[in-house]
Amino acid sequence: MFERARKFLEVVVYYLMVIPTWTKLTVHNTWGIINVFFITWVRPMKGGLIDENHPYATGINPKTNDFIWHDNVIFKTERDKEYQHTDREIIELVGGHMLKMVQKSMATTNNPEGIPDRMPPSINYIHGTVHYNGAFLIFNNIKEATRHFSDPEFKKEFKRFVRTEKREPVTILRERNYDRKEFLEFVCFLRTMFPWFSNSNGNKKRIGWGNPAPYCSVNTITGYWMDGTYATYTEEGRKTMARPAIKAQYFQGEYGFGRDYTRWPEKFLASFTDDRVKARGLKGNMFFVDNRKLLQGYKFNPEALPNITERLIEKMNLERFAKIS
| Secondary element (H or E) of residue 197 | strand 197-198
Whether 105 and 117 have beta carbons less than 8 Å apart is answered as yes
Domain boundary assignment for the chain: 2-324
Q: What are phi and psi of 236, to 5 degrees?
A: -65, -40
The pLDDT, as a whole number, for residue 280 is: 86
> In this predicted model, what pLDDT tens digit does every residue of 176-224 receive, in sequence order?
999 999 999 999 999 999 999 999 999 999 999 999 999 999 999 999 9
- CB–CB of 270/198 below 8 Å? no
**What percentage of residues in the chain have a pLDDT greater than 70?**
96
Q: Which residues of 87-104 are buried (b: 16+ CB within 10 A; e: fewer)?
A: beebbbbbbbbbbebbbb
pLDDT digits (tens, 9 = 90+) for 56-100: 999 999 999 999 999 999 999 999 999 989 999 999 999 999 999
Using an 8 Å Cβ cutoff, are 147 and 312 in contact? no
**What is residue 62's predicted lDDT score, i.e. its pLDDT?**
96
State mean pLDDT over 136-143: 99
CB 270 within 8 A of CB 278: no
Average pLDDT over residues 88-116: 97
What does the angle CA 87 – CA 88 – CA 94 come to, to the nearest 5 degrees? 85
